Amino acid sequence: MRQLGAALGSVQNLFTGGVAADTEAWRSLAINLGLLIIALFGSFFLLRLASNAICARLTSRVAAANWVRRLGALLVVIVVDAGTIVLAWALGYVIALNTGTLPNGEMGINQSLLLNAFLVVELSKLALRIILVPHFPTIRLLPIADDNAVYWSFWLGRIISLVGYGFMFAAPMLSGMVSSAAGGAVQVLTMATAITIAVIIVLQNKNDVRAWLSALAVKHNNSGLWRLLAAVGQQWHILVIAYLLALLAVWFANPDEALPFMLGATIQSIIAILVGSLIVTFIGRFVSTGLSLPADVRQRLPLLEGRLKAFVPGVMGVVRWVVIAAVVLAIGQAWSLFDFVSWISSPEGLSVVGSIVSAALIILAAIALHVVVASWVEYRLNTTIGRMPTAREKTLLNLFKNAFTIALVVFGLMLALAQIGVNIAPLLAGAGVIGLAIGFGAQKLVEDIITGIFIQFENIMNEGDVVEVAGKSGTVEKLTIRSVTIRDMSGTIHLIPFSAVAQVSNMVRGFSFYVSEVEIAYDSDIEAAKQAMRDAFALVMEKDEFKDVILDDLDLQGLFAITPTSVSLRSRIKTLAGKQWGAGRYYSEMLMRLFAERGIETPTQRINYVSDIAAQKPIFELDAPPKPA
């Protein structure tokens, strides 16, 4: 509070004449500085006009170019803009050497202060123009509207000029020419004016920034971080104004130590937030854009791209939170809330960080190994590349992938826990006890697994086989260690645990028979019917799609059943495994056509009608109903 009172007293002395000044020194200073100011700022103004014209012509040529050419144009604009600052400063330096030198030939301190302040201020404003690029929107890298870029460039440039020339030129000059109190008064006025302008800017943009943060939260589906930013955005102006007032109070209290610390911590925090935001933005764009593998890789591994698209966003999400944690740590380190650097340099910190990094690397390696193995299995099962996998290979490779995944998850988790210091021996013992309890409590599950293991060893069925299991017939779509999934002819999926399997009937193992049993009328010519069956088989063999799958001649077994009204004939067609149904359907179709053409009838019920009922004796008679009494 004493220092604050002294600062306010300096302001009072400055305006009430409490300080003395040398009139002749002021007149000489005004002449020398006037010449330097006119030369310095006049040349800088003219050079800026020329450089803006050159840069405008350059940027107009790259308006529709790609980002590489636009970035090159931005670098050229930076060089030209920096060149104008250096040329103006050099001209001012020459003028100062020839007009404001001391008797010993050296440049005056006030001219040197002005030149140094000009160089620092204009280079700082150049850095601001590189970020916002207010006058050349075609090469602006940040997604900022033109009016916003001009607005923020104008006001931030004014604050930089006010603080820079006030602290680096006006205050030191008055301290030397008048008194240290006068210099301190100028610093107080400069700081208070800068804070006042900043507060006004915050209040002017209160609603715009609030709406911008809310729109960002909605754009990102109100996820955790963006929801927090939207909540902070409702009262952001209060937080910023409180910070600015705290900055002013700290400067009043201890400008030599507290202010440099606060400014340094603020700059470090801003840099950490900007770097973190750029990394998070890049990760977000990378995730939203997605991965696109080359066409040949997609052909060989059609599921790899989808697998990576499901895997990469999760990893990038973890990386995003790691970056956010790093930004928080950097801000805490900058404000001395904790000494993270010293802790991480200690043996304990190195041990903890090393354990976490090792566990993370183990998990990443396990995930990468899973992707590699799954992709290799997918490549081996791909029917468009290399040789066609057999049904047995399909079954065993899928079982291997599932078993490998389970083992990888268990061992990867155990190794990761061991790296972070968890004793896994009790976990292994507990797992054994839990496994024993599960074995007693889930006997059906154990029976499913044991039966499944023996079924796989016996190789009785594989994926793609047509089987009958537990009363259900259909195609095997999936085999696991404990169940089989079957799709029947109607498309219904049946999941059958192996504990319910008493026997398995495989219809496509080795070879198959199509058995045809036809029933004809009792008085039909049997030899003619048998010849029709031979002819129907000959017609089947004329079809290229069937003759390549039929392994042998027609097995005509002939008559096998006799009834009072019909006789039954049987024949068999031997085909490749699973190919009997197509050839059999065509054979039945041809046989029916030949039977119809040759008059071979199937047994049908016949009723004979007698025209003269009176001349015929009825086979049976019904008693007439009794007459009523």
HEC string for 239-300: HHHHHHHHHHHHHHHCCCCHHHHHHHHHHHHHHHHHHHHHHHHHHHHHHHHCCCCCHHHHHH
Report the candidate in 557, 550, 555 with the shortest Cα–Cα distance to residue 577: 550
Length of the chain: 629
Q: Are 214 and 230 in contact (CB under 8 A)?
A: yes
Q: Which residues have a Cβ under 8 Å from the Cβ of 339 and sit 6 or more positions away?
A: 333
What pLDDT was estimated at residue 619?
47
More confident residue, 136 or 607: 136
| Mean pLDDT of the chain, nearest integer | 79
The answer to whether the beta carbons of residues 502 and 514 sit under 8 Å apart is no
Q: What is the mean pLDDT of residues 59-84?
A: 86
Report domain extents, the chain.
Answer: 1-14+179-256, 21-177, 288-431, 443-506, 511-597
Rounded to an integer, the average pLDDT of 285-308 is: 65
Residues in Cβ contact with 49 at an 8 Å cutoff, skipping those fewer than 6 apart: none
Separation between Cα atoms, residue 189 and residue 172, nearest integer Å: 14
pLDDT band (50, 70, 90) for residue 500: confident
pLDDT at 441 over 90: no
Query: Do 511-597 and 443-506 fall under one CATH topology?
Result: no
Q: What are the pLDDT digits (tens) for 562-601?
A: 888 888 889 998 888 878 888 888 889 998 988 888 888 8
User: What are the structure tokens assigned to 24, written together?
Assistant: 């002749």
In the CATH hierarchy, which fold is given to the domain comprising 443-506?
SH3 type barrels. (2.30.30)
Instruction: Give the pTM.
Output: 0.50
Which of 33-37, 193-197, 420-424 is predicted most confidently?
193-197
State how far the Cα of 465 lies from the Cα of 301, in Å rounded to an integer. 25
Q: Is the dihedral of CA 193, 196, 202, 205 positive or negative?
A: negative
For 194-201, what is the mean pLDDT?
A: 92
pLDDT exceeds cutoff 70 at 225:
no
Q: What is the mean pLDDT of residues 162-178?
A: 87
Task: Provide CB contacts within 8 A for 411, sequence distance 6+.
Answer: 366
Helix (H, G, I), strand (E, B) or coil at 410: helix
Q: Are 112 and 96 in contact (CB under 8 A)?
A: yes
Number of Cβ atoms within 10 Å of the Cβ of 289: 8
CB within 8 Å of 529: residues ≥ 6 apart? 518, 520, 569, 595, 600
* Whole-angstrom distance, CA of residue 280 vs CA of residue 233: 19
The model's pLDDT over 6-29, given as tens digits with 9 standing for 90+, comes to 545 554 554 454 444 456 666 776
- Show Cβ contacts of residue 421 under 8 Å, excluding neighbours closer than 6 positions: 355
When mean pLDDT is compared across 183-187, 240-244, 297-301, 368-372, the lowest value belongs to: 297-301
CATH class of 511-597: alpha beta
